[in-house]
Chains A and B, each alone.
Chain A
Amino acid sequence: MFWVNKAHAGNTFMPPQASNFAESVDTLYGFLYYASLISCILVIGGLIYFAVKYKRKTATDKTAYIAHNALLEFLWSFIPFVVFLVVFAWGWKVFYDMRNAPKDALEVHVVGQKWNWNFIYKSGRKSGGEFTVPVNTPVKLIMSSRDVLHSFFVPSFRVKQDVVPGRYTSLWFTATKEGDFNVFCTEYCGTGHSTMLAKVKVVSKAEYENWLENDPYKGLSLAEVGQKVYAGACIACHNTTDVKKIGPGFAGLWGTDRKLTDGSAVKFDEAYVKESIVNPNAKKAEGYENAVMTSFQGQLSEDEITGVIEYLKTLKK
């Protein structure tokens, strides 16, 4: 019934199991589920049974005077207590494993900012909006935030950890299945919270080595580079159509005059786009007084910004 763990029977309610933790969490969850189900049947069943059986028959019904029963009361205090202790200890055990990464885990830095995820590998390889890890290898994410609280959640891996400005937090997992898995931000972080998504791509070790060594922009035109950057950095707040998201939609903007909040106008050209990427709140367009954008200075290379500029030129209404 419903969302109980049926890892072995094709359950559809928990997300797919794709990490070393998924099965141990789901087994514990399955135990809790059945214990809960039994408790609910006892309490709600008893409630309904008594309600039917002892329905008032006459206006002057006499009732039994049963004030308490020591044995019964002891049992229904003691049994839940024991069950609670068991699930507490069991939960601690699994949690302990979650919190202690193997020493040889592959380390990846994760930086959260409003409203995207950036991933930095030891080789210097960066990636935004998605990241790639090898299958069957312990991976440790070392996470920090450039602005407010975020939280890194991969449902299929059953892992989650808040990303806190001013300190480093971490989580680890061993992906057990190849494929793409969703990453959500689960700590409320403002307007773009629900668009702060990413993907983790789990690939074979060989593919991973290959990916890590390759220049991600090799063989791409500038506009194609820009499109890739857009998908990792800009997509949370900007549409490629002319529809407003949190910031303006990009289509048809190139070359037009933009009215600013102070009443002046500026041409939407290379200089304005670059300024808006590194110092976004200097010249805000009219209608976006309350929208706030985080600077991408240092996040995007000069080549990537050039790519974005060329990509924006291609977006027509």
Chain B
Amino acid sequence: MSSAADRSKNYLNEESGLWSWLTTLDHKRIGIMYMITVMFFFLIGGVFALLIRAELFSVGPTVVEGAAQYNQLMTFHGAIMVFMVIIPGIPAFLGNFFLPLQIGAKDVAFPKVNLMSWYCLIIGAAISFYSLFFNGADTGWTFYTPYSIETDNGTILLVLGAFVMGFSSILTGVNFVATTHRLRAPGMGFFQMPLFVWGLYSTAILQVVATPVLGITLLLLAAEKTMGIGFFDPALGGDPVLFQHFFWFYSHPAVYIMILPAMGIISELITTFSRKVIFGYKAIAFSSVGIAAVSFFVWGHHMFVSGQSQLAGVIFSFLTMLVGVPTAIKTFNWVATMYKGSIQFQSPMLYAMGFLFLFTIGGVTGVMLAVMAVDVHFHDTYFVVAHFHYVMVGGTLMAIMGGIYYWFPKMFGKMYNEFMAQLSFLFIFVGFNVTFFPQFILGAQGMPRRYFDYLPAFEPLNRVSTVGSWLIGIGFLIGLYVIVSGMLKGKKAPDNPWGAKTLEWQTSSPPPHTNFHEQPVVTGGPYEYR
């Protein structure tokens, strides 16, 4: 093992000063920069969410200044959370930090490209926020035409920002594919890779292949808006439904860009805290790739009532069912991994179990929405809002939080306050269900989404939902405290506090600049708890 002298230097104190961070090529430092950026965006998007819920507490205009402002809040909440939080959240932050560590590499394949992708996110986000000075944008994050063509010009900036942020996503994807293929430690074949790496790898392929389509679509939209070229506006000879096809051709795979790496984290957490080999390693690994592949062919399930042909609807419904199978397999595998394990309820495990609980509800409601006749009733109601929050927040965000606590000792070399972290989980988990479960019922009753105001009959459940949002807010504030206080004054962390088997735990906490003191050599699978 390494000597004491080696261990005093690590990636955090190797260099100092703001400039050393802004120009760093170290994947770990870039990961931390993503962490700070994403947390900042999450805070803004979260405040917008709280304002939306506050407005919906009562019938009639109350908190915000009219429907126009509400629609901007709704648009920016969605755009920020999708493009700036959930998409970069796992790959660019936790993936950046731990992909090289988990495969025993010194860095990603293209460190400069890695830094560039962070700047793309920052520049894109800056352009998006700049749109707020031009009457903002009020199209919803989906930019549906022709409304997006005739509304105010702030929309162009938001679209342009999303376009630039797309490059961040593409570059990260390219980097991860190359890294996974080329930089694995000696002895690590594809089937010795941790499942988080499988998740990131599948995601990276989606990012590289799907994101350019979004870029092209948004450019066409901008060209139509500024130069009047008729792609989507029927007044100019275009077709608004075509935009929806283009948009969802990216944005449906994007859903899996958001959830696949989350599933990877859950595999890590369940094995570590059950101290047990994963059940069905290959099934989980292949289902990640399978989900990624099929996810390209299901976009039309967002459009059953859009006016697309009945035949198209039937095919999309069928293919969507096929995506359901590998997703179900993964869930069963995780639960089976806990069988005869030795389960420890640290906060990362609580988040993993929270994920399983919420994601299962998100999953079964997803199947309901894939059934055409039922979707006709639920489409564009609060049922859909509840469903995708169960998947995106109950799934992805739970995994991010679990991942942050799990790897916190490795990232900062310090421990966080376990009691406060569990308290934070309790508020978030309970608050989440209080907020979003009533929305299933509201949707079933027929309350449409994106409504600034609603019928009085919907008020009681909306009130419950708003109260829940306050609980979530408190939970995340406690979480912020846990993270910041842990960074500043946490107790020193051991190298492997959880007794995990993957490679990142074999180096010091925090790792040195080059990740490992000696080149690790892999001789077995990632979860050999014997």
Q: A residues within 8 Å of B by Cβ?
A: 2-3, 13-15, 21, 24-25, 28-29, 32-33, 35-36, 39-40, 43-44, 46-47, 50-51, 54-57, 61-69, 72-73, 76-77, 80-81, 84-85, 87-88, 90-96, 98-99, 147-149, 151, 153, 155-156, 158-162, 164-167, 169, 182, 184-195, 244, 246, 290
Contact = CB atoms under 8 A, between A and B. Distances in A.
A155 B377 contact: yes
Given A44-B357, A51-B343, A186 B381 contact: yes
A186 B448 contact: yes
B112 interface: no
Contacts of A151: 305, 380
Contacts of B379: 160, 186
B199 to A, nearest CB: 19
Contacts of B361: 40
A304 B140 CA distance: 36
A93 B353 CA distance: 37
B67 A192 contact: yes
B187 interface: no
B360 A44 contact: yes
Interface in B360-380: 360-361, 364-365, 367-368, 370-377, 379-380
Given A63-B276, A68-B279, A161-B305, A167 B234 contact: yes
Nearest to B310: A99
Contacts of A195: 67, 453
B329 interface: yes
Nearest to A181: B446
Contacts, number: 269
B372 A50 contact: no
B338 A159 contact: no
B430 interface: no
Given A32-B374, A148-B147, A43 B444 contact: no
Contacts of B306: 162, 164
11 contacts: A24-B373, A44-B360, A63-B529, A90-B371, A93-B373, A94-B373, A165-B240, A166-B238, A188-B449, A189-B147, A190-B71
Contacts of B372: 91-92, 94-95
Contacts of B189: none
B297 interface: no
Interface string B432-455: 000000001100111011111111
A85 to B, nearest CB: 7
A301 B324 CA distance: 54
B192 interface: no
A167 B308 CA distance: 11
Contact of A98 (B68, B317, B373, B453): B373
Q: Which 7 A-B pairs have the closest CB atoms?
A: A166-B234, A155-B446, A94-B373, A61-B342, A91-B371, A36-B364, A194-B451
Contacts of B450: 188, 193-194
A50 to B, nearest CB: 4
Given A44-B360, A148-B150, A50 B445 contact: no
B151 interface: yes
A32 B373 CA distance: 12
A50 B335 contact: yes
B230 to A, nearest CB: 10
For chain B, give the interface size range: 35 or more
Given A25-B373, A98-B376, A186-B380, A63 B275 contact: yes
B343 A65 contact: no
Contacts of B274: 54, 63
B40 interface: no
B144 A57 contact: no
B328 A95 contact: no
B147 A43 contact: no
A57 B342 contact: yes
B224 interface: no
Contacts of B68: 191, 246, 290
A3 B440 contact: yes
Most chain B C-beta atoms within 10 Å of own C-beta, residue among A32, A54, A62, A95: A95
Given A56-B342, A63-B529, A187-B380, A155 B371 contact: no
Contacts of A162: 305-307
A193 B454 CA distance: 11
B452 A67 contact: no
A193 B446 CA distance: 15
B521 interface: no
B71 to A, nearest CB: 7
B283 interface: yes
B339 A290 contact: no
B365 A44 contact: no
A177 to B, nearest CB: 16
B495 interface: no
Contacts of A62: 342
Given A43-B335, A54-B343, A66 B277 contact: yes
Contact of B373 (A63, A95, A192): A95
Most chain B C-beta atoms within 10 Å of own C-beta, residue among A65, A166, A192: A166
B344 interface: yes
B161 interface: no
B240 A65 contact: no
B138 interface: yes
Interface in B306-354: 306-307, 310, 313-314, 317-318, 321-322, 324-325, 328-329, 331-332, 335-336, 338-345, 353
Interface string B42-82: 00000000000000000000000011100100000000000
B239 interface: yes
A132 to B, nearest CB: 21
Given A80-B325, A290-B135, A51 B307 contact: no
Interface in B434-493: 440-441, 444-446, 448-455
B310 A96 contact: yes
A262 to B, nearest CB: 19
Contacts of A3: 440-441, 444
B277 A67 contact: yes
Nearest to B313: A95
Contacts of A95: 304, 310, 313-314, 372-373, 376
Given A50-B343, A51-B338, 8 more contacts: A25-B374, A43-B331, A51-B345, A65-B277, A84-B324, A88-B371, A160-B376, A290-B68
